[in-house]
């Protein structure tokens, strides 16, 4: 398994932006399909964005499409989530997740076997 550490969360006003980072350990980062999930208080963890390892294709939840962008820098072993036009409903703890050699989009938390500790994002109205 890969070790993941998120950073970049914080408090921002509605309409603002944040960029989250997920630093990964290990030499095979480019072989991992990565994803971002979020969890609001009292709610289940939900998929936000994903990035498959082979094709580099990206996919998003409908609620963030057009506002969030997932990307990676394999040289830095880091996955990013650029979040623009933030809304109060984007508030939650954001987690990055990884699984080795998945080549198709996966949307369920159970389909990933490595997780970071999470970073809090709070969007005020």
- Extended beta strands in the chain, E state: 4-7, 10-13, 18-24, 32-39, 46-51, 58-60, 68-73, 78-83, 92-100, 114-115, 119-124
- pLDDT at residue 59, rounded to an integer: 95
What tens digit of pLDDT does each residue of 35-90 get?
999 999 999 999 999 998 878 899 999 999 999 999 999 889 999 999 999 999 99
More confident residue, 1 or 120: 120
Residue 31 and residue 100 in contact, taking contact as beta carbons nearer than 8 Å? yes
| Alpha helix stretches (DSSP H) within the chain | none
Q: Which two tokens stand for residue 63?
A: 């609620």
Residue 99 — very low, low, confident or very high, per pLDDT cuts 50/70/90?
very high
| Rounded distance between C-alpha atoms, residue 15 and residue 40, angstroms | 19
Nearest to 70 by CA among 44, 100, 38, 101: 38
Percent of the chain scoring above 70 in pLDDT: 99
Distance CA 1, CA 4 (A): 9
């Amino acid at each position: 398994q890969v070790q993941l550490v998120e950073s970049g969360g914080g408090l921002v006003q509605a309409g603002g932006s944040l960029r989250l980072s997920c630093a990964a350990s290990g030499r095979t980062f480019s072989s991992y399909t990565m994803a971002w999930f979020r969890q609001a208080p009292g709610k289940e963890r939900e998929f936000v964005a994903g990035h498959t390892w082979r094709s580099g294709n990206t996919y998003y939840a409908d609620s963030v499409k057009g506002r969030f962008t997932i990307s990676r820098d394999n040289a830095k072993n880091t996955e990013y989530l650029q979040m623009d036009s933030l809304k109060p409903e984007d508030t939650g703890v954001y987690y990055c997740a990884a699984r080795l050699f998945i080549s198709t989009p996966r949307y369920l938390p159970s389909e990933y076997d490595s997780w970071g500790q999470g970073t809090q994002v709070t969007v005020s109205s």
